[in-house]
Amino acid sequence: MLKSNLTANLNQLVDRISTDNYDEIINLCHSAARQIEKLENAGLQHATTQYTTTCGELIKEVIMYITERKERVIPYLKELSHKAETNHDCSTCSGGCKVNHDLHLIELRASHSAMRSILNRLQVVGLPLYSDTVFPDAYRVLRNQMVLIENGLTELFFLEENYLLPKVVDAQKRINVSRK
């Protein structure tokens, strides 16, 4: 019964993160990219050009990491949940099973580190809106969108680090994934 609750909770959490976080962040990134395009077409001041270029680069990175999670991490989590549900025992596997489990955790933690770097760069790159320079409204909209992306990433990290990763580690323990 405990394994079923674990896998149901893991599946529900994965589905929630995929829909409420991954999809939402991707949508915010696409919206911000459209806003950058509007700003570029409007002819920009030098200060906003540097900001929009940096935002565009950061958006591409965020989309890459989120897409990687959706294509690689979510299928692994579904597989892990299934293995726990069917009482799979990794201690009887030929050895490749452990490598796959560890690799997924390592990749997720590495992408956390890379995305933290993106968050730090987002905080540094923003131009102060209170300066003497008058920025177009489209720039302010972009700033707001980037803040929403930052907030979404912060929430995602919180959910992944405090809820998802512990459930993954627990599921791995339940199917006897050995750690050396």
Asked if residue 136 lies in contact with residue 39, where contact means CB atoms within 8 angstroms, the answer is: yes
pTM for the whole structure: 0.83
Range of the domain at 11: 2-174
Domain assignment present for 180: no
Q: Distance from first CA to last CA of the chain, Å, rounded?
A: 29
Q: Among 29-33, 133-137, 145-149, 173-177, which stretch is predicted with the lowest mean pLDDT?
A: 133-137
Q: ∠ at Cα 58 (52, 60), nearest 5°?
A: 105
Cβ neighbors of 111 (< 8 A, separation 6 or more) are: 65, 68, 69
Asked if residue 26 lies in contact with residue 157, where contact means CB atoms within 8 angstroms, the answer is: no
Asked if residue 77 lies in contact with residue 10, where contact means CB atoms within 8 angstroms, the answer is: yes
**Average predicted confidence (pLDDT) for the chain:** 82
Domain assignment present for 117: yes
CA distance linking residue 66 with residue 87, whole number of Å: 30
Domain assignment present for 97: yes
Cα separation values, 43 from 122, 131, 139, 146, Å = 23, 20, 12, 20
Task: Answer yes or no: is pLDDT of 171 > 90.
Answer: no
Domain assignment present for 74: yes
Domain assignment present for 91: yes
Domain assignment present for 114: yes
**Stretch 76-105: mean pLDDT:** 79
Query: For position 6, what pLDDT does the model report?
Result: 43
pLDDT for 122-154, tens place per residue? 777 765 555 556 667 888 889 889 989 989 998
CA distance linking residue 37 with residue 28, whole number of Å: 14
pLDDT for 50-65, tens place per residue? 788 889 999 999 999 9
Local confidence band at 47 (pLDDT 50, 70, 90 cut-offs) = low
Domain assignment present for 179: no
Domain total of the chain: 1
Domain assignment present for 33: yes
Query: For position 98, what pLDDT does the model report?
Result: 60
Q: What is the dihedral of CA 169, 171, 177, 180, to 10 degrees?
A: 10
